[in-house]
């Protein structure tokens, strides 16, 4: 199975490959930091699988889904293999969504799906040189931000009564 990112980085210009290269660099930093946190231990925060491990698993696995894996044979790969069966089951469930996720590019282009940009995604795009993607997406109505009016609606309607 090809990584999910195979279509994600295709923009027909140099920005897609530049963003991909930035992602590889930044994920490498995260992997190096997690390796240092393991420091010869089996788990990130103690004798057994714990909250630290649970918090880190999504970052390592989603990076792999996008084709950015930890170094083969690294402590991080061994750590991920030791993770509880429930983690492996959840990763399998995430992998099962890839066929649908590969259709998102077409859904965005058709207007049937609008990407939701919140703080972490927006920060990454701006920091990594993808501001133009955000500007184009806002102009094309393929990117949206949180609609704060939806949250206020029950309260503003009550106040108007």
Give the three-class secondary structure for 46. strand
Q: Tens digit of pLDDT for each residue in 78-88?
A: 999 998 888 88
Pick from 101, 102, 112: which is nearest to 142 by CA?
112
Q: How many residues does the chain have?
A: 161
Beta strand extents in the chain (DSSP E only): 115-116, 143-144
In this predicted structure, what is the pLDDT of residue 2? 44
Phi, psi (deg, nearest 5) at residue 107: -65, -40
Domain range summary for the chain, segments of one domain joined by +: 11-102, 112-161
Distance in angstroms (rounded) separating the CA atoms of residues 25 and 21: 6
As a whole number, the mean pLDDT across the chain is: 85
What pLDDT digit, counting tens, does each position of 145-157 carry?
888 888 887 777 6
Which secondary-structure segment (H or E) carries 144?
strand 143-144
| Residue predicted with more confidence, 12 or 125 | 125
């Amino acid at each position: 199975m090809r990584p999910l990112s195979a279509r994600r980085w295709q923009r027909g210009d140099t920005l897609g490959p530049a963003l991909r290269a930035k992602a590889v660099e930044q994920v490498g930093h995260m992997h190096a930091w997690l390796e240092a946190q393991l420091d010869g231990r089996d788990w990130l925060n103690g004798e057994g699988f714990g909250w630290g491990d649970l918090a880190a698993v999504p970052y390592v696995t989603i990076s792999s889904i996008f084709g950015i894996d930890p170094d083969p044979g690294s402590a991080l790969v061994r750590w991920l293999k030791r993770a509880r069966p429930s983690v492996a089951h959840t990763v399998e469930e995430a992998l099962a969504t890839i066929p649908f996720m590969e259709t998102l590019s077409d859904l965005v282009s058709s207007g049937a799906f609008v990407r939701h940009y919140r703080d972490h995604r927006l920060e990454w795009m701006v920091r990594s040189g993808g501001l133009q993607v955000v500007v184009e997406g806002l102009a094309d109505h393929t990117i949206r931000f949180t609609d704060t009016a939806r949250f206020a609606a029950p309260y503003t309607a009550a106040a108007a009564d």
